[in-house]
Amino acid sequence: MAPSAVSTIDNTSTSGTKNTNAAKPTTPIPSLEVGLLEKLEAPLADVPSIARAFEVIYHNLALTASDQFLPTPIRALPTGEEKGRFLALDLGGTNLRVAVVWLYGGDGLKVCTQGSWNIPEHLKSGAAEVLFRWVADRIGDVVGEYLGDVGSEEKERILSEGMELGVTFSFPMEQTTHDSALLMPMGKGFTFTTTNDLSSLLKAAYDDLLSTTTPTYPLPRLDIVAITNDSISALLSAAYLHHSTEDVRAVAGIIAGTGTNATCLCPVSKLPASKQPTSGSSTGAILLNTEWSIRGTAPPLKPYTTTWDVQLDLENEKPGFQPFEEMVGGRYLGELVRLVCLDLFSSNVPKSQLPEKMKLRYGLDTKLCSDVEASVNDDEALSLLQDYFDPDTSSSTTSSAATTTSSEEPEEWKWDLLSAASFRRISTAVSTRAAALVAAATIGVLGVNDELKHHAEKQVLVCYTGTVLEKYPTFRERCEGFMMEVVERWVAESRIPPAPSGKRRAVRLVEAKDGGIVGAAVLAGMVKEGRT
């Protein structure tokens, strides 16, 4: 995903939605492409009704699904007063991050020594123990560095008392206590199946590491105090920093990164007995890990599922597992664009003439789409595409996508301004569809706890983390625009009350920066203070 390629240009596409640099065609869009774009843009006219369909299905899933709307042991949001020094671990779909985080109560927080690694592909399959032994080594790297940086007093304290660890784990889990979590089937290319307890896996791996340390490089004991999903960490971290005030309510956390997910606070009374806490108060609320991308979410998506979605799913490691994620997750956006482009470009030339990466499954990174959408014009888009697909010959440009030699043998297909403009339009259509679906699902989730039916005077904050929302040019703005469209329609239809005194009902997306790391530490702080 593009780390910083954010464009400031904001055009209006044919569908009437804001997008990045939508190409301003000087020549008509080829009719085959018009047909492809129409299929991708079909949901854009229906966002309020898709949101309603999500709301209905999420109500049902909260009541009946055993793999979605999972209860967690968390019953409250942070007060913002939590304090302490915690080790935080964030295991996502693409990266592992480990950091030491200081929480200063009312005075914010500091992320100290930290490390970030790409998770090697070979660790995503096979035995979970091998992945966790690698994770333990990375914990050792960060803790060792921290011990090397701090004064002798802090070092002695840590070595004698150990460190408290908060874990963000970006996968489904079954949880009844803060310090344990049973792994459930995973997506995002992770194929190992284990019903093991995450805490035992991590402890065993870290103990194994400890058994190899020497007195010269000692490591402390670790106490796993909190484990949670990344959607929950996003909400907790943002709520820690901007907790609810008279005018604002932080009510949900969403992730749009490699994968996608959401959490919301739900009144216990709305849940079936099987999802209610077995101890503690039977009133109040509970944070749910919705796992909103898993198969139960499919029905509202059906009318908008294209042949490319079907193909991507059939070729996925777990067909049918996360249909929603396959339409919006960063792992998949580039692959969808590749499949659509392959259809379009192979209508003119044999597939064999197309660039190798265009024919290769996952050959097209979502980051390229992000960069192309951020590019200022089709010339820049063209050079990005040439560099990516054909770095050796990227300086040569042809005037048409397929050229012929004098002997009538087709030459190798090459990028040109027309095909670059098509790529940009297709990429924009795929990412705009994703933004619309995330917006509809978010409003649907807020329907589960009737959030929008109450507190009409407050601005609702949806806290987010994830590279797609954070880095993909204007994705957040497009998503927020669709959310507001739904809210306004629902106010007009009296499905939710208007804001008092003529103000606009507002649902805003706020970034939970470093949400995985910070949220893990915040939850550890909440657990230590007994306020969860």
Q: Which residues bind ligand BGC (CB under 6 A)?
A: 92-93, 170-172, 187-188, 229-231, 255, 257, 259-261, 291, 293, 322, 325
Question: Which CB sits closer to ligand BGC, 146 or 171?
Answer: 171
The minimum distance between CB 260 and ligand BGC, in angstroms, equals 6
The minimum distance between CB 230 and ligand BGC, in angstroms, equals 5
Q: Which residues pair with 197 in a beta bridge?
A: 182
The minimum distance between CB 320 and ligand BGC, in angstroms, equals 14
Question: Which CB sits closer to ligand BGC, 13 or 68?
Answer: 68
Listed residue (6, 50, 36) closest to 443, CA to CA: 50
Residue 360 amino acid letter: L
CB 452 within 8 A of CB 48: no
The minimum distance between CB 263 and ligand BGC, in angstroms, equals 9
Q: What angle do CA 162, 163, 168 make, to 5 degrees?
A: 150
Residue 329 amino acid letter: G
The minimum distance between CB 187 and ligand BGC, in angstroms, equals 4
Question: Which CB sits closer to ligand BGC, 169 or 308?
Answer: 169
CB 288 within 8 A of CB 266: yes
Q: Which two tokens stand for residue 307?
A: 């042949």
- Residue found under tokens 């007063």: 81
Question: Which CB sits closer to ligand BGC, 48 or 519?
Answer: 519
Question: Which CB sits closer to ligand BGC, 71 or 259?
Answer: 259
Residue 464 to residues 115, 117, 454, Cα–Cα distance (Å): 22, 21, 22
Helices (H) then strands (E): counts for the chain? 16, 15
Question: Which CB sits closer to ligand BGC, 33 or 230?
Answer: 230
DSSP SS3 for 186: coil
The minimum distance between CB 243 and ligand BGC, in angstroms, equals 22
The minimum distance between CB 509 and ligand BGC, in angstroms, equals 16
Q: Which residues pair with 125 in a beta bridge?
A: none
Q: What angle do CA 369, 374, 375 make, to 5 degrees?
A: 100
Question: Which CB sits closer to ligand BGC, 140 or 444?
Answer: 444
Instruction: Tell me how far apart the alpha carbons of residues 90 and 111 are, in angstroms, rounded to a whole number.
Output: 13
Instruction: Tell me how far apart the alpha carbons of residues 302 and 205 are, in angstroms, rounded to a whole number.
Output: 42
CB 381 within 8 A of CB 421: yes
CB 172 within 8 A of CB 294: yes
Q: Which residue sits closest to ligand BGC, CB atoms considered?
A: 259
The minimum distance between CB 229 and ligand BGC, in angstroms, equals 5
Listed residue (377, 170, 435) closest to 289, CA to CA: 170
Question: Which CB sits closer to ligand BGC, 230 or 480?
Answer: 230
Residue 86 amino acid letter: F
The minimum distance between CB 293 and ligand BGC, in angstroms, equals 6
The minimum distance between CB 78 and ligand BGC, in angstroms, equals 19
Can you state the percent helix, strand and coil of the chain, rounding each to 5? 45, 15, 35
Question: Which CB sits closer to ligand BGC, 20 or 229?
Answer: 229
CB 429 within 8 A of CB 341: no
Please count the CA atoms within 13 angstroms of the CA of 269 that sit on its side-chain side.
3
The minimum distance between CB 333 and ligand BGC, in angstroms, equals 14
CB 256 within 8 A of CB 512: no
Question: Which CB sits closer to ligand BGC, 19 or 431?
Answer: 431
Instruction: Tell me how far apart the alpha carbons of residues 75 and 95 are, in angstroms, rounded to a whole number.
Output: 29
Question: Which CB sits closer to ligand BGC, 36 or 173?
Answer: 173
The minimum distance between CB 357 and ligand BGC, in angstroms, equals 25
- Residue found under tokens 């919006």: 328
Question: Which CB sits closer to ligand BGC, 182 or 248?
Answer: 182
Strand stretches in 284-410, DSSP E: 285-289
